[in-house]
Amino acid sequence: MKNLERYLNDHISGSAAALSLLETLAKTDTADAEFHLGLRKEIDQNRATLLKLLDSAGFHRSRWQERMATVASTAGQMRLRWQGLSPGHSGLMEALEVLELGIHGQLLLWRCLKETGPALGLWEDTDFESLITSAESQKIRVEARRMIAAKRAFTQGFKAA
Greatest CA separation found in the chain?
Answer: 63
Q: How far apart are CA 134 and CA 66, in angstroms?
A: 23
- Whole-angstrom distance, CA of residue 121 vs CA of residue 31: 46
pTM of full prediction above 0.85: yes
CB-CB contact of 85 with 92 (8 Å): yes
Q: Which positions ≥6 away from 141 have C-beta within 8 Å?
A: 35, 39
3-state SS record for the chain? CHHHHHHHHHHHHHHHHHHHHHHHHHHHCHHHHHHHHHHHHHHHHHHHHHHHHHHHCCCCCCHHHHHHHHHHHHHHHHHHHHHCCCCCCHHHHHHHHHHHHHHHHHHHHHHHHHHHHHHHCCCCCCCHHHHHHHHHHHHHHHHHHHHHHHHHHHHCCCCCC
Lowest mean pLDDT among 86-90, 99-103, 109-113: 86-90
Asked if 18 and 99 count as a contact pair (C-beta separation under 8 A), the reply is yes
Check residues 62 and 42 and name the one with the higher pLDDT: 42
Alpha-carbon gap, residue 63 to 12, rounded angstroms: 9
Of all residues in the chain, the percent with pLDDT exceeding 90 is 73
What per-residue confidence (pLDDT) applies to 79?
63
| Banded model confidence at residue 91, pLDDT cuts 50, 70, 90 | confident
Domains in the chain, CATH or no CATH each: 2-155 (1.20.1260)
